[in-house]
């Protein structure tokens, strides 16, 4: 019997994982909730298990997923990103059930998932960090500690939920009065969202660049990095565009950051693939932010410039293999840009366009373009999941070549039905600041003109719409 690996995820990442699993000659087991019954990952997998009606509860149901793995005889589970990927209880449940969890051990996930413990580990290892506090004591004592911190480091300050992440449970504080008001509110929200009301503070780095380092570690503790990624172009703390390597010209600084990332991973006893995130301020000071203990959405850009298949390596490491390369073997070649093509209306504050049917799906091709998607013509986008349709990653030898390719590919990409971020990205690909690498996390706020574009720029499609109507009615109702 074939060795089976279960993919505990959906959408594009499920397909990405299934592809790697099948390339390694394993059988891929997909799972799905009812709203995903038309999802392509089910068709691509070797078998698929229905978890339940969903939505978003069965993909999060540890026991159902463990049961599905047992039932199909899978020996390993890849969690992808999101859902259970960074849930230490899930990793623990796999460990307890004798299933291989493709990722770090549950204890590592648990430690790094707790922002305060993570900060402590990093502080001990001498990793530079944004000034911050431990968990604030409860009640008035906590408020007093917060105000003391503010007096020392000045506003603005971030108030963060200890168990938050992915942009959730964060609020910006600008005054003592606001601090007093917001601490109880944040606690209540954290309690509701994460079942944990602990909060802590961090000094805000104003208009930073977001730079992260891909790391890989095998079970011998051999740890390497695969270079940097710039993820500064975000909206509401959600990444839209990722670039590898970082555009910072100072190679010495980037080398230092990468070495720091490896040091941080070692300090956390890291195993498998992970990402160490840093903020870089205007004076090029860098601060550790967090370690993500999963494969990232944007792992593709690193794969394009290093040639290393991160998911394949993840699986091999989990199956007991050792890293087959040393740090010195890893070469960065050229530049890669990934754009998350979402079913969203950028003009309407990125309102999701779920529920709509993809009437045309025509993707670009040719040299240096990679697509990681899951939608097809005729597919109706479920309203209950995220709005990512496809990741388009372009690769080029020089930055200019890469941007030219990006623009060409966006012009060639036609998706009709839902509104998408394509025309908005096309404006970015033509923007002088973007082209010259001049962007940080404030990029979208500073470029409102990026939102000026024609939604229905395709003239042939419009005219064909009239032809279709003339055909359907048997006459032209607009000329009668």
Instruction: Please report, as ranges, the residues that interact with other proteins according to CB under 8 A.
Output: 359-360, 362, 377-378, 414, 416, 456, 459-472, 474-476, 478-480
Please give the backbone phi and psi of residue 375, each rounded to the nearest 5 degrees, phi first.
Answer: -90, 160
As a whole number of angstroms, the distance between CA 334 and CA 151 comes to: 46
- Count Cα neighbours of 393 within 13 Å in the Cβ-side half-sphere: 21
**What does each C-alpha distance from 380 to 56, 307, 376, 406, 439 come to in angstroms?**
17, 34, 9, 27, 35
Query: What whole-number distance in Å separates Cα of residue 431 and Cα of residue 447?
Result: 9
* End-to-end CA gap in the chain: 68
State in angstroms the smallest separation of the CB of 416 from other proteins.
Answer: 7
Between 176-194 and 139-153, two packed helices, what is the crossing angle to 10 degrees? 120
Of 148 and 467, CB closest to other proteins: 467
Instruction: Tell me whether residue 191 or residue 461 sits nearer to other proteins (CB atom).
Output: 461
Q: Is 25 left (phi over 0), alpha (psi -120 to 50) or beta?
A: left
| Residues 387/414, Cβ–Cβ less than 8 Å | no
We find the least distance from the C-beta atom of residue 471 to other proteins, in angstroms, to be 4
Give 282 or 462: the residue with its C-beta nearer to other proteins.
462
Q: Least separation, in Å, of the C-beta of 363 and other proteins?
A: 11
Distance CA 346, CA 230 (A): 21
In the bound state with other proteins, the residue whose beta carbon lies nearer, of 62 and 470, is 470
Smallest separation (angstroms) from other proteins to the CB of 463? 5
The verdict on whether 294 is a catalytic residue reads yes
Q: Given the residues 40, 198, 294, 340, select the one marked as catalytic.
A: 294
CB of 414: closest distance to other proteins in angstroms? 8
- Looking at residue 249, the DSSP 8-state letter turns out to be S
Please state at what angle helix 251-267 crosses helix 115-124, rounded to 10 degrees.
110
**Toward other proteins, which CB reaches closer, 123 or 470?**
470
State the minimum distance, in angstroms, from the CB of residue 464 to other proteins.
5
How far apart, in whole angstroms, are the C-alpha atoms of residue 375 and residue 221?
Answer: 39
Cβ closest to other proteins, residue 43 vs residue 471: 471
Containing H/E element for 455? none
Cα–Cα dist 180/245, whole Å = 41
Contact (Cβ atoms closer than 8 angstroms) between residue 5 and residue 315 = yes
Catalytic residue positions, numbered = 294
């Amino acid at each position: 019997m074939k060795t089976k690996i279960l993919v505990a995820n959906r959408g594009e990442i499920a397909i990405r994982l299934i592809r790697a699993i099948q390339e390694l000659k394993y059988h891929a087991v997909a799972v799905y909730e009812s709203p995903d019954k038309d999802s392509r990952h089910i068709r691509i997998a070797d078998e698929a298990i229905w978890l339940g009606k969903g939505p978003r509860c069965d993909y999060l149901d540890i026991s159902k997923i463990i049961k599905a793995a047992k039932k199909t005889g899978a020996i390993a589970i890849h969690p992808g990103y999101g859902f259970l990927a960074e849930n230490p209880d899930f990793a623990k449940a796999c460990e307890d059930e004798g299933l291989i969890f493709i990722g770090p051990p549950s204890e590592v996930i648990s430690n790094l998932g707790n922002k305060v413990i993570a900060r402590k580990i990093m502080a001990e290892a001498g990793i530079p960090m944004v000034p911050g506090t431990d968990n604030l004591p409860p009640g008035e004592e906590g408020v007093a500690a917060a105000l003391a911190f503010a007096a020392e480091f000045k506003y603005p300050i971030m108030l963060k939920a200890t168990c938050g992440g992915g942009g959730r449970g964060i609020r910006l504080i600008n005054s003592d009065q606001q601090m007093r008001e917001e601490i109880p509110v944040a606690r209540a929200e954290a309690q509701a969202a994460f079942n944990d009301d602990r909060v802590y503070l961090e000094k805000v780095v104003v208009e930073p660049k977001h730079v992260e380092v891909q790391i890989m570690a095998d079970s011998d503790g051999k740890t390497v990095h695969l270079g940097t990624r710039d993820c500064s172009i975000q909206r509401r703390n959600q990444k839209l565009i990722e670039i590898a390597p970082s555009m910072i010209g100072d190679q010495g600084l980037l080398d230092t950051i990468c070495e720091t990332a490896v040091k941080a991973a070692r300090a956390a006893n890291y195993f498998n693939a992970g990402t160490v995130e840093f903020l870089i301020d205007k004076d090029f000071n860098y601060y550790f932010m967090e370690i993500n203990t999963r494969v990232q959405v944007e792992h593709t850009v690193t794969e394009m410039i290093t040639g290393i298949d991160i998911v394949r390596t993840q699986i091999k490491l989990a199956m007991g293999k050792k890293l087959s390369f040393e740090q010195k073997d890893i070469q960065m070649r050229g530049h890669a840009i990934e754009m998350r093509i979402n079913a969203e209306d950028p003009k309407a504050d990125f309102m999701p366009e779920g529920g709509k049917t993809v009437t045309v799906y025509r993707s670009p091709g040719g040299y240096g373009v990679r697509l990681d998607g899951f939608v097809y013509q005729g597919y109706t986008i479920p309203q209950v999941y995220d709005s990512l349709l496809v990741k388009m990653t372009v690769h080029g030898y020089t930055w200019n070549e890469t941007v030219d390719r990006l623009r060409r590919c966006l012009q060639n990409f036609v998706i009709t039905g839902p509104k998408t971020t394509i025309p908005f990205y096309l404006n970015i690909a033509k923007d002088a600041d973007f082209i010259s690498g001049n962007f940080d996390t404030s990029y979208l706020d500073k470029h409102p003109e990026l939102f000026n574009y024609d939604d229905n720029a395709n003239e042939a499609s419009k005219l064909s719409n009239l032809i279709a109507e003339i055909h359907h009615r048997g006459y032209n109702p607009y000329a009668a």
